[in-house]
Homo-oligomer: A and B are copies of this chain.
Amino acid sequence: MSEIESFFKSAFSVDNVIFGFDGSDLKVLLIQRGAAPFKDKWALPGDLVYPNENLDTAAERVLEQLTGLRGVYLEQVKAFGAVNRHPLGRVITIAYYSLIKISDYVVTPASFAQSASWHSIAQVGELAFDHNEILDTCLRRLKHKVRMTPVGFELLPPKFTLTELQQLYESILDEKLDKRNFRKKILSMNLLLDLKELQEGVAHRPAKLYQFDRANYEQFVAEGFSFDL
């Protein structure tokens, strides 16, 4: 305990806000705390940083330990360091966020998290620590990000329809977009490859399938193009 006490005199942690898309809703990955403080409360997956560990590395490690998620690209947002944000001592935390395709990953909570699961953004209740504030900040950052870079495309199946893409943006941005204008804008960017295939198994006119044209995108970026939705 004394070791813990001294560690807590001045410690830092990382907290991860993992946004996920399941085909229709924007969600966030939360764990239910298995120990005090805030036992049984939902919280962001986070933990202390080892003394000899880089912050980015720690964020990845902690995420994997708590939720089983490996190889997730995380981006730092900022530090949260209010004196009393942690009831046991002075801990500042560095917030990271990411956006992943839920179906690409299997969530397997660590023993010291009772459970880890996806929660719709709109239905997130009161979280442990200052995690609601962290979540809000990261959500704002995410919305900004998806407008500026085509991250969204990664969240869909390799072949997707324009309607699916639009729904994705609508659920992340939490606003309705005009169908015609959305399609016009996206198609005019030349980032989509028309696969000349049609959707199957739907009880209505099938939609065309597209694929994100990564090579083109990278070339455009190199030439100074900027995605802007």
Q: Which residues of A does B touch, CB under 8 Å?
A: 6-7, 9-12, 49, 51-55, 76-79, 81-83, 90, 92, 94
Contact = CB atoms under 8 A, between A and B. Distances in A.
Query: For A11, A76, A79, which residue has the most chain B Cβ atoms within 10 angstroms?
Result: A79
Contacts of A55: 79, 81-82, 92
15 contacts: A10-B10, A10-B11, A10-B12, A10-B51, A12-B92, A49-B81, A52-B90, A54-B81, A54-B82, A54-B83, A55-B81, A55-B82, A79-B79, A79-B94, A81-B94
B51 A9 contact: yes
Contacts of A51: 9-10, 90
A69 to B, nearest CB: 21
Contacts of A9: 51
Contacts of A6: 6
Nearest to A92: B12
Query: For A6, A11, A12, which residue has the most chain B Cβ atoms within 10 angstroms?
Result: A12
A132 to B, nearest CB: 18
B77 A78 contact: yes
Nearest to A52: B83
Contacts of A94: 79, 81, 92
A146 B125 CA distance: 35
A17 B52 CA distance: 26
Given A12-B12, A12-B81, 17 more contacts: A6-B6, A7-B10, A10-B11, A10-B12, A12-B92, A49-B81, A51-B90, A52-B83, A52-B90, A54-B81, A54-B82, A54-B83, A76-B78, A76-B79, A78-B78, A79-B79, A92-B94
A228 to B, nearest CB: 12
Contacts of A78: 76-79
Contacts of A54: 81-83
